[in-house]
A and B are shown apart, each in its own frame.
Chain A
Amino acid sequence: MNRSRRLKLQVFRVVVFVVMGAFFLVPIGAMFEFSTRGVGVGAPRTLVSWTTIATYPDLVAAIVASLELAAITSVAMLFLLLPTMIWVRLRVPRLNRVVESLCLLPLTIPAIVLVVGLLPVYRWMSDNFSNSILTLAFAYVILVLPYTYRALDAGLSAINVKTLSEAARSLGAGWGTVIFRVIAPNMSGAILNACLLSVALVLGEFTFANILSYVNVQVAINQLGQANAGVSIAVSVASLLFAFILLMVLSFVGAARRSLRSKPRASDPRLEAVWGQKA
């Protein structure tokens, strides 16, 4: 490449990075700025918005509920997916496609569409079962399926499930031992990834909660937004930072445990979005 062309390219790159950097960083900075504004013109910066979070009981309850949901969803997801995926690998490999398609289905069905169909189901549940916000976990497990399936699949691919389980079984281990004390410890990175993803997604979820009339943290932020923008933005920043840190941890843990097998099937890049891997 000759010199003038190289120079033009470098100028282009600098301009693009500066503009894009500004576009993506300014809103985040603005959130910090907004949430630390003092009252009145020329007032000094203050952390009032942050410290008064605790004085909004509904908000606090929503935060607690979201955290509980995040935990429950992670655990439920693991208990549902991990045995199933191991079982499929060991006993019914033919069903692999079916399970995978089901897990990736939520990517192509918009959340707002799915929740229309969930409404009757949840009505039935709250009439006959429970009205608690924690029942949202059922729907949330479905929501996180595509991402967590991918995470666990990568982890299972990297270890020899068949050999490990056969060895354990021949030594007299029951299935519980096989799953929890033989296989799971060997894919701890993938399991951690799946849980981090679940937590990040649950904390950021709004659609299901809003339509099904439960108040999780995002719904609470939205409701509070009218009344006290400062506090709701402070909570937004907090949840954003939390999710950001989680996903950054994810990309480092994920990088260390990347599966060596290449994926021949074209996959949805929104999955790649969470993984940061090349499609």
Chain B
Amino acid sequence: MTATGNPAIESARRPREGGRRLPLHWVGVAPFLAYAGLFLLLPTGIVVAGAFTGNGGLTLSNFSTLNQQYLIKAFISSIGLSAVSAVVGAALGALFAYAVATGNPRGVLRRIVSSACGVLAQFGGVTLAFAFIATIGGAGFITLWLQSHGIDPYAKGVWLYEVPGLVLVYAYFQIPLMVLVFLPALDGIRPQWREATESLGGSTWHYWRYVAGPLLLPAFLGATLLLFANAFSAYATAAALISQGDPIVPIAIANLLNSEIGIAEPGLAKALALGMIVIVAVVMTLYAVLQQRTARWLR
């Protein structure tokens, strides 16, 4: 794609003054709109439209085919995995964020942790999977160490390469993401509230139960939702760890695209994809609503 010889920009080089006002200004945005249309909106449209397309015209048959046992299991697993990963990440991340927030706001530790979380939250995919394989995989560093001390972490099956393992691996980017989202909320808690509670006769428990807890709840729930959407959408890490089966929806979609069933019924993968979009959209809307509440109280 040659974006250099941008016709819109060239023509604007000769400004047309006076006379009729042509809708020239739209032209400048045209290349971008065309590009986004072709590579962003079109694929999305293909997914949405394709979900409702069967052999010859509009149909809901794709959704009834979705009713297959293994696909329903995939959805349940995905939702379950995302929920657990979100809760674990949110709880641990909140504790981590609290430890950071109670330190010097301009200190070195705070800045290092913030930058590190920024980097780690983006760290995922194959590299992350391999990092964990190197750590507690079959021949991993920790695995070998544990085995040399008589503990076999895989006595009950090789869980790292199945959905439960994903909870552990996802925590690696979920916790930093939680810190990034939740830390601003913690910063918004003013020390005067704690002191006012104390002077009015409240104990630490009262403070968390009646003041800090209710104030932080929307932020915490919102962050949990964000973590849910993040885990739900993730594909690469799972693909690198799980080599067979359709345990979660993203992998199910990938398998469908390469399999005979999928080629015979192209609408199926799209229906799955549409299901994903709907779930993520709902979660993100709830998140936005909770963010507003937080912003009002903790600015």
- Chain A residues in the interface with B (C-beta under 8 A): 5, 9, 12-13, 16-17, 20, 23-24, 26-31, 33-35, 76, 79-81, 83-84, 87-88, 91-92, 95, 99, 102, 105-106, 108-121, 138-139, 141-142, 145, 174-176, 179, 200-201, 204-207, 210-211, 218-219, 221-222, 225, 229, 232-233, 236, 239-240, 243-244, 247-248, 251, 266, 269-270, 272-276, 278-279
* Inter-chain contact A28/B131, CB cutoff 8 Å: yes
* Inter-chain contact A112/B295, CB cutoff 8 Å: no
Known pairs A27-B172, A229-B130 / 8 extra A-B pairs, C-beta < 8 Å: A13-B103, A16-B96, A80-B32, A108-B284, A175-B12, A175-B13, A176-B9, A205-B125
* Inter-chain contact A244/B35, CB cutoff 8 Å: no
Residues from chain A with a CB closer than 8 A to the CB of B43 are 114-118, 121
Q: A110-B250, A233-B134 are known contacts. Are A116 and B257 too (CB-CB below 8 A)?
A: yes
Residues from chain B with a CB closer than 8 A to the CB of A116 are 43, 46-47, 253, 257, 269-270, 273
Q: Does B165 contact A (CB under 8 A)?
A: no
**A–B complex contacts, Cβ < 8 Å, 18 sampled:** A13-B99, A16-B96, A26-B135, A27-B172, A31-B135, A80-B3, A83-B9, A99-B32, A106-B40, A110-B250, A204-B123, A205-B125, A225-B126, A225-B130, A233-B130, A247-B118, A273-B180, A278-B187
Q: Does B76 contact A (CB under 8 A)?
A: no
Mark each residue of chain B from 125 to 148: 1 if its CB lies under 8 Å from any CB of chain A, else 0.
111101111110001111000000
Q: A20-B175, A83-B6 are known contacts. Are A31 and B134 too (CB-CB below 8 A)?
A: yes
* Inter-chain contact B99/A16, CB cutoff 8 Å: yes
- The answer, among A102, A117, A279, for a CB contact under 8 Å with B181, is A279
* Inter-chain contact A207/B235, CB cutoff 8 Å: yes
- 7 smallest CB-CB distances across A and B, nearest first, come from A117-B43, A110-B233, A87-B28, A276-B118, A273-B121, A206-B236, A34-B134
Interface residues of B in 58-94 (CB under 8 A from A): none
* Inter-chain contact B184/A236, CB cutoff 8 Å: no
Q: Looking across the interface, which residue of chain A has its beta carbon closest to that of B15? A: A169
- The answer, among B127, B250, B269, B270, for a CB contact under 8 Å with A204, is B127
* Inter-chain contact A30/B134, CB cutoff 8 Å: yes
* Chain B CB within 10 Å, residue with most, of A139, A200, A247: A247
Residues from chain B with a CB closer than 8 A to the CB of A92 are 25-26, 28-29
Residues from chain A with a CB closer than 8 A to the CB of B109 are 17
Residues from chain B with a CB closer than 8 A to the CB of A175 are 9, 12-13
* Inter-chain contact A204/B125, CB cutoff 8 Å: yes
B90 to chain A, nearest CB (A): 13
In the bound assembly, the distance between CA atoms of A200 and B121 in angstroms comes to: 13
Q: Does B240 contact A (CB under 8 A)?
A: yes
A106 to chain B, nearest CB (A): 7
Residues from chain A with a CB closer than 8 A to the CB of B187 are 278
Q: A83-B9, A110-B233, A121-B42 are known contacts. Are A210 and B29 too (CB-CB below 8 A)?
A: no
* Inter-chain contact A30/B142, CB cutoff 8 Å: yes
Q: Looking across the interface, which residue of chain A has its beta carbon closest to that of B284? A: A108
* Inter-chain contact A84/B236, CB cutoff 8 Å: no
A219 to chain B, nearest CB (A): 8
B97 to chain A, nearest CB (A): 10
Q: Does B259 contact A (CB under 8 A)?
A: no
- The answer, among B3, B12, B125, B176, for a CB contact under 8 Å with A273, is B176
Q: Looking across the interface, which residue of chain B has its beta carbon closest to that of A2? A: B198
A35 to chain B, nearest CB (A): 8
* Inter-chain contact B130/A80, CB cutoff 8 Å: no
In the bound assembly, the distance between CA atoms of A273 and B182 in angstroms comes to: 12
- The answer, among B124, B175, B180, for a CB contact under 8 Å with A272, is B180
* Inter-chain contact A120/B46, CB cutoff 8 Å: yes
A118 to chain B, nearest CB (A): 5
* Inter-chain contact B250/A112, CB cutoff 8 Å: yes
* Inter-chain contact B141/A270, CB cutoff 8 Å: no
